[in-house]
Structure 1
């Protein structure tokens, strides 16, 4: 075992028995490189990464390669999900130098952590245009030995160039109607009308953009926005990217038609998409959207929930194919013969037609990924339900993909918001309870006495890495959603603690710009800062949304002002690159609408009339609306202050900036007030 044996990251633990003498990211590793006078190999990946596993097997488990690494380098392994700051800084360098990036990320550093040579996956044997990993190692060793001054000069220039890449457009006014309309026009130009989604292959679920489209339609009535969201969601739900048996979404589709996924299933994708489909149902009443939201929520609880009540990060793309080989997609793909073995010939023919399983296969080696290419109405619903149950039961006997059990604070925040809202919309208190359980874990294990967040935990053990901006923002978002759904003001209070850290430790006091790491975080070669979305909302825009929601609940002027200042970057980027600031545009829609503040004053906490008004408030389409729910005189929510019952019964007050319209006791009137 090497130095990774005692860490909490499942990804690093996968490398603990490599012959490579790995170090985790820590100052001692760079001190060792300085003492020995050798460069550092930085290898960054994550547990569910297919090509990370491939490179590990080909190179890091190879005794000869490991011996060369151990002699000439200090090797540092980083889990990008535990240290997104390290990943962001060096990925920026990789992309600037090569024009592309990805994982595994392979970077060579000086003992001062300055990068000088970059790449991603390197094969064990040279290919056209791609050197072998051994050739790269030998080349770097030779350059370090023979041209050390030149290497130092290159590294110094790279660091200087990176340090000059400050976000210069953080200040300024938030987006207005003109900017959001321009963003919608830009998305329309990039939209794929035949297949849904945006751009070509590989095609990723555009979760944050879909939220913007739904909010923009709710505020402006723009039918094109709703059409793009609805059609994209339908295409994804019918495609192979969605698990047609067990629910939940894969990371992305390798093709434009959503047929063949990259099979890893991430918590963050499923949390974001669960919420999108729940919001689509709220806007349209789509039965498909309801089904997908609930199946995705059930998938998260069934397959990702940990013994401590949090949610694990991911399921691997690869699994044992039954012959001892680790194969991508082995758990999910089917051949006609496998269908017949489980279902018998007659039902197998129906299943093949229904799920698009062909003799040629849509995936590899004659296997197919299950889709829904046909309209459901042409099939017998009870027979299809029986087929699905039997196939799922048979699949459960296959070797399952590995699970990355670490609990990431930010992604659990996204899951809390999704499960709380989905449970409230569809009368599933078990989903709300799951959200509360995850929130309890974050408070119990991830928050210290100063309300500072730890990034991760595993098996009830808190990780050593500090939370970054997205952790504070997404957990705040989850707590705010939970407060609205449960009527428990303690979650609003915890959100306030976290957002105070955002204001004090992550925000530039002069420009209002946000940084991904706190002022007192470990100093890297540059302080990471990125307002654009990736697979999840950027910490910048997520913080803006949480600050705005908290201000709407409490009337806090500093929190609202900080949100507006942070949205200045969206005013600049939204019309230019709307696909990459989808959540920022969604937050801008909330700001343009108010956001609306709904105070539901209950006569008794659980009486039917009060609960009906509360649910109606939660189902309102007003973008980013917040809901306070409690009995008259409750001090848990500022919005409830001085809001009396009406004729002794429950009432709802719809407000903007704490100025309210006349209260209503009629759910239909409340619905009309929120959907207009």
Structure 2
């Protein structure tokens, strides 16, 4: 799985591009590539098997031995990958892995009381160790487990007297070497009994690990990375994960965005670079990732103040970061303070390590155009995409976000409006169906009696006033095209899977 040779990094935008392309073509090999990559990563040492979350990258081709640092931006985008892949495949293993990322973030990488996501957790707790917090000797395993549990874990995680760590050969990285069925055959036990033993043993091992010296958590709250997690948590909130976890994700995402607006945003300059601490001028990433997060929060709450903030932030980004003559956006504003030898403004494009700022800006502009119908947003998106069209091919894998932006621009974002009273079972089924299908840039709006949807444009703006708000129906639109309303969840799923609206809008 994955792309290239060692060292192997996650390429979240490439995974999403493969999924979107699969949705368009139904070429099975594309989905096979996604599933193989995500499953191999999830079972490898690059995934923290005990606490959840993913390490920075793998030093080998098989995802076994990681660099143990855990970054916010990796985990937010991998969370989205696992959510999207579980939508497409209905694979419970991928959904459970998404939940494990959320669990670790809630426990370690977030300020649950005040809102906000932290930057990272270090790989080591001192200069003298190399992942010792995360790795295990056979004696360490046997010290915390019963003989029966230890035997199962040694088979499951390939724990041996000689492990994978060069600095201490006795240390083992935990990676899934055998499944429950295989271990059941070896030990002549029922596979479900093996599953139960593994889960019990993992809890004991995590409790023991928490007593070790713990790697430092960098509690800096970078605005762009917070925005990325706000969007990821909101996607989780309407996915098919455990309802309690879904509601927690929604509440925390809104809390975080309120803190971002309260502490790191002004109408004059947009978003700063971080929440708290001495003021730092925001970068292009801080603005455009936050625009996307604000649009996602608006969809989750239908509170117009979030949409207003998104539009104002985009206007500031165009005015202060945009290149009106040649297209695209610079990383620093045109009135930024001097930075010594770092005063040259550049146009970030490459996905490394986060999605490229200009591609994200294009996605934000296309989505804003879908909501407002203001042609200048689409024109600006087109000019941004054209500015990099000549060089995008040279970046290959590292231009995957550009591929997503170009796809969204070409096909137009899909908007789904669900009407009906609160708790109406048909409306709830339609809403679940709308969220179940992965399509890039898709918006789902829940329209109840009394709801005011001010941010609508095009065909949807003309259609919605004629719909009975108290009757459960779904309307799917894209650009200037709407399909006939439906009250059948299966029909709605088929429409979104086929992407009929996007094709019709061209």
With the length of structure 2 as denominator, give the TM-score of the two structures: 0.89
Work out whether 1:286 is the aligned partner of 2:108.
Answer: no
- The separation in 1 between residues aligned to 2:388 and 2:107, in whole angstroms, is 37
Trace 1:216-615 onto structure 2 (pairs within 5 A): 216-306=21-111, 307-319=113-125, 326-364=128-166, 365=168, 366-378=170-182, 379=191, 380-425=194-239, 426=241, 427=243, 428-450=246-268, 452-457=270-275, 461-523=276-338, 524-569=342-387, 571-601=389-419, 603-615=420-432
CA contact (8 A) 1:347 1:387 kept: yes
Contact (CA 8 Å) 2:414, 2:441: kept in 1 or not? Answer: yes
User: Partner of 1:653 in structure 2?
Assistant: 475
**In the TM superposition, what is the alpha-carbon distance from 1:408 to its structure 2 partner?**
0.4
Q: How far apart, CA to CA, are the structure 2 residues paired with 1:220 and 1:490? A: 38
Residues 259 and 199 (structure 1 numbering): CA distance in 2 closer, same or farther, change over 3 Å?
same
Q: Point out which structure has higher relative CO (alpha carbons under 8 A, 6+ apart).
A: 1
Please report how far the alpha carbon of residue 605 of structure 1 lies from its aligned counterpart in structure 2 after TM superposition.
4.1
Contact 1:317 1:401 in 2 (8 A): yes
Aligned residue pairs total 473
The question of whether the paired residues in 2 share the 8 Å contact of 1:266 and 1:313 is answered with: yes
CA change 1:355–1:396 in 2 (3 A) is same
Q: CA deviation at 1:240?
A: 0.4
Q: Is 1:666 aligned with 2:480?
A: no
What do residues 541-577 of structure 1 show as CA deviations (whole Å, max 9, x unaligned)?
Answer: 1111111122222222111221222122553344443
What residue is the counterpart of 2:502 in the other structure? none
Which entry has the higher C-alpha Rg, 1 or 2? 1
For 1:88-137, what per-residue CA distance to the aligned partner results, in whole angstroms no more than 9, with x for missing partners?
xxxxxxxxxxxxxxxxxxxxxxxxxxxxxxxxxxxxxxxxxxxxxxxxxx
Unpaired segments ≥5 residues, structure 1 = 1-195
Task: Return 5+ residue gaps in structure 2 as ranges.
Answer: 183-190, 499-506
Matching of residue 621 in structure 1 with residue 438 in structure 2: yes
The answer on whether the counterparts of 1:454 and 1:463 sit within 8 Å (CA) in structure 2 is: no
Q: Take 1:590 and 1:651, find their aligned partners in 2: how far apart are those partners?
A: 26
1:464-488 per-position Cα deviation (integer Å, ceiling 9, x unaligned): 2111111111111222223233443
Change over 3 Å in CA distance of 1:198–1:570 after alignment to 2: farther
CA 1:357 to 1:435, structure 2 compared with 1: closer, same or farther past 3 Å?
Answer: same
Give the Cα separation in 2 of the matches to 1:555 and 1:598. Answer: 16
Alignment of 1:170-189 (within 5 A): none
Structure 1 CA distance, aligned partners of 2:76 and 2:345? 28
For residues 268-323 of structure 1, the C-alpha deviation after alignment (integer angstroms, 9 at most, x for no partner) is 00000000000000011112210111111121121111242101100011115xxx
**Helix, strand or coil for the counterpart of 2:444?**
strand
Q: Distance in 2 between matches of 1:486 and 1:353?
A: 47
Of 338-347 and 375-384, more deviation after overlay is shown by 375-384
> Residue 208 in 1 paired to residue 9 in 2?
no
SS at match of 2:266: coil
Contact 2:393 2:399 in 1 (8 A): no
Distance 1:637 1:489 in 2: 8
Provide the alpha-carbon RMSD of the alignment. 1.9
Structure 1 Cα separation of the partners of residues 438 and 388 of structure 2: 22
Q: Secondary structure at the match of 1:567?
A: helix
The 8 Å contact of residues 531 and 569 in structure 1, kept in 2 or not, is answered as: no
What is the CA distance between 1:376 and its match in structure 2?
Answer: 3.6
Deviations 1:159-215 (A, max 9, x none): xxxxxxxxxxxxxxxxxxxxxxxxxxxxxxxxxxxxx11111111011111111111
User: How far apart are 1:537 and its partner, in Å?
Assistant: 0.4
Give SS of 1:599's match. strand
Offset from partner CA, 1:616-640 (integer Å, 9 cap, x none): 2222233322222222561343156
Task: State how far apart, in whole Å, the 2-side matches of 1:462 and 1:476 are.
Answer: 22
3-state secondary structure, aligned to 2:119: strand
* Distance across 1 between alignment mates of 2:388 and 2:93: 32
Taking the aligned partners of 1:624 and 1:356, their CA distance within structure 2 comes to 41
Q: Secondary structure of 1:319's partner?
A: coil
| Alignment partner of 1:631 out of 448, 451, 455 | 448
